[in-house]
Chains A and B, each alone.
Chain A
């Protein structure tokens, strides 16, 4: 099947955009809506979910080394239920990637290319990602290694350029209504952090798997820092209330940058990292979907599935979703619950069953 190998650090580079690429643009507004000026605390709560799923994925992989969840779910709960569960996972990642593609395309058409038809944007990015996946996991890993540092640097520069306009006092009052609002605000980002469970599909291809835990945590920490930096910048610039009113507050913030009337109109940078980051995200998730499907069907090769499933992803992202509002509603309120079940609760149950069974056998 896949003979390529990646290093644990490459895995970390791959996971970073999976979470942050789409999250950074749509999550601040959703979080601010619930949490107001406590919006910066929400990612901290949400990141705990990331710690949990990384732990679960690592433990499961320790019990069944070299296997993905599609394979060991059959070993754990039996042939038919295992296959059903595998199908649920494939369905989930298909929808997750379709949702991600749609968020990407809505942003591009909404903010920049108003007249370009949605499917053109959807197809082009999916095509590029599919080519990367077709090249194998090493190609995806290396593209991530190349793109992510640039992504981080640009994001950092944008936050620094905003410093002159920030008003740190906007952070007060902290917890005016207790911690509930910020916990509610963490509900949507928790599903983004839970996407770290995707390492369950990557771990079998990691060379130095003993370092995977460390690198997973580093990636999680970087994602948390990214969310914190953007949420705090937006809070300091706009305040919680205004952030919640914008569709893409990060874009508005970057358009606000003006230093000496010279460094301004920086939104093209947002666009650049947006496209690059989404490319890696889609490629990584698509890889998981394709390799999972091949394992589910017991095929010898996953490559023929890359393009048909890529096409399917594009179709699903527009199937039954006629507007940006519907897609945002799905991503903001439906997907988090779906993710909670599929990416957190089921793996936890699997782990418990697996441990119990191994104990009984031993």
Chain B
């Protein structure tokens, strides 16, 4: 009889376990369906007049996102846009987000947030406190791109752009292009607390084609330089190019100038460039050598120079290098002497090579940075001519060179 009892209890258990597992296997505790989520694509942070945080989020509307049917067809009028922006204010970002949550029927999801924009006023008061949220919360990614808005961040996110589906995507593509700076949240976290105490962030601006629909585009308008988390000053587009060159982040660049002994302009398109920082401390004098090697193609030739002549090319290479030097010197003048903000990576370079000396100056790096002697050594190579060896559109007798 005992055997029968055992048999029964085993069967019972089997049944309980199988049916029990059905309950559990159906899903997990934190199961979230995609249509329960409000997916944040971009976040903008502004300061209100009473010193509170105004959080603006750009949310995806999944049903409007599918495919490219509204691109190109131009039928996407108001109300058909794939994104929507919403705002809330609070003392912290987290509080603003929870207030925002009260106005949304879906749970806010930060996992796809790819753009973070700091408003101008907030950036002037300091961004340090507000970076924390995005590194603390488990959902946002460290690869989000960071921008500083030229005006209010909220206005930027409301722009409905051409070519791209949303302003967040627009901004992201601009960052990826690297015409201006490209700074991810990881880079910002690393630099804002690093030895240099200075950060450079790309400055994002917008322009409307049509005010009523908020149609328009975004563009990167130079760089904002931060010291101790607060805006110290701005670099315009030209100086930003110099900054990119120094930081070895330049990818797309066209340099144009009038060669000596010629008329008209010549444009060179950058193929690749490499910048190396060589720190040196000699007899207590701190010196930094920037050695820059660039390779270029000739993209436009308005002059009468014949490009197959090696002598002419050699001269052009020299002039190109000098031109790049000049650009970099201008940037250095502004960053090192005027702003005294080390956004060039010098602090790290010195720390890595001279840790002991660095320890002595790290508390007054700002002054020391301004004293560092900088030498720029650049070398340019012109690799290819393009499709024309001789200038087009001018008579043969006016040409120079062989």
| Chain A interface residues (CB < 8 Å from chain B) | 110-117, 120, 169, 172-173, 176-177, 237-239, 241-242, 245-246, 252, 255-256, 258, 264-265
Contact = CB atoms under 8 A, between A and B. Distances in A.
Contacts of B28: 113, 116
Contact of A241 (B111, B141, B186, B193): B193
A306 B355 CA distance: 54
Interface of B: 28-30, 111, 135, 138, 141-143, 184, 186, 189-190, 193-194, 348, 351-353, 355-356, 359
A112 B186 contact: no
Given A112-B138, A115-B29, A176-B356, 17 more contacts: A113-B29, A113-B30, A114-B30, A116-B28, A116-B30, A172-B352, A173-B351, A173-B353, A239-B194, A241-B190, A242-B189, A242-B190, A242-B193, A245-B135, A255-B141, A256-B184, A265-B111
A176 B350 CA distance: 12
B181 to A, nearest CB: 16
Nearest to B359: A176
Given A114-B30, A117-B29, A256-B141, A176 B190 contact: no
Contact of A255 (B142, B189, B193, B356): B142
Contacts of A110: 138
Contact of B353 (A112, A172, A241, A265): A172
A265 B28 CA distance: 20
Given A173-B352, A241-B194, A242-B190, A116 B29 contact: yes
Among A112, A177, A239, the one with the most B-chain Cβ atoms within 10 Å of its Cβ is A239
Nearest to B184: A256
A314 B143 CA distance: 37
B340 to A, nearest CB: 23
Given A113-B30, A120-B29, A239 B190 contact: yes
Interchain residue pairs A-B with the least CB separation, the first 7: A176-B355, A172-B352, A116-B29, A173-B355, A113-B30, A256-B142, A242-B190
Contacts of A238: 186, 190
Contacts of B193: 241-242, 245
Contact of B30 (A112, A252, A256, A264): A112
Given A172-B353, A176-B356, A115 B30 contact: yes
Contacts of A116: 28-30
Nearest to A264: B143
Nearest to B142: A256
B143 A258 contact: yes
A238 B187 CA distance: 8
A28 B351 CA distance: 22
27 contacts: A110-B138, A111-B138, A112-B138, A113-B28, A113-B29, A113-B30, A114-B30, A115-B29, A116-B28, A116-B29, A169-B348, A172-B352, A172-B353, A173-B352, A239-B190, A239-B194, A241-B190, A242-B186, A242-B193, A245-B193, A246-B135, A255-B142, A256-B142, A256-B143, A256-B184, A256-B186, A258-B143
Contacts of A242: 186, 189-190, 193
Contacts of B186: 237-238, 242, 256
Nearest to B349: A169
Contacts of A256: 141-143, 184, 186
Contacts of A265: 111
B219 to A, nearest CB: 21
Contact of B352 (A112, A169, A245, A264): A169
Contacts of B355: 173, 176-177
Contacts of B189: 242, 245
A30 to B, nearest CB: 18
A223 B355 CA distance: 31
A252 B194 contact: no
A169 B353 CA distance: 10
A255 B356 CA distance: 35
B175 to A, nearest CB: 12
A171 to B, nearest CB: 9
Contacts of A239: 190, 194
Nearest to A171: B352
Contact of A252 (B111, B142, B353, B359): B142
Contacts of A173: 351-353, 355
A88 to B, nearest CB: 36
A112 B32 CA distance: 12
Contacts of A115: 29-30
Q: Choose among B28, B111, B186 the residue with the greatest number of A CB atoms under 10 Å from its CB.
A: B186
Nearest to B351: A173
A115 B36 CA distance: 16
Contacts of A113: 28-30
Nearest to A248: B138
A261 to B, nearest CB: 8
Contacts of B142: 252, 255-256
Contacts of B352: 169, 172-173
A254 to B, nearest CB: 10
Contacts of B348: 169
Contacts of B353: 172-173
A246 B142 CA distance: 11
B148 to A, nearest CB: 21
A263 B142 CA distance: 15
A255 B111 CA distance: 10
B395 to A, nearest CB: 49
A113 B194 CA distance: 33
Nearest to A173: B355
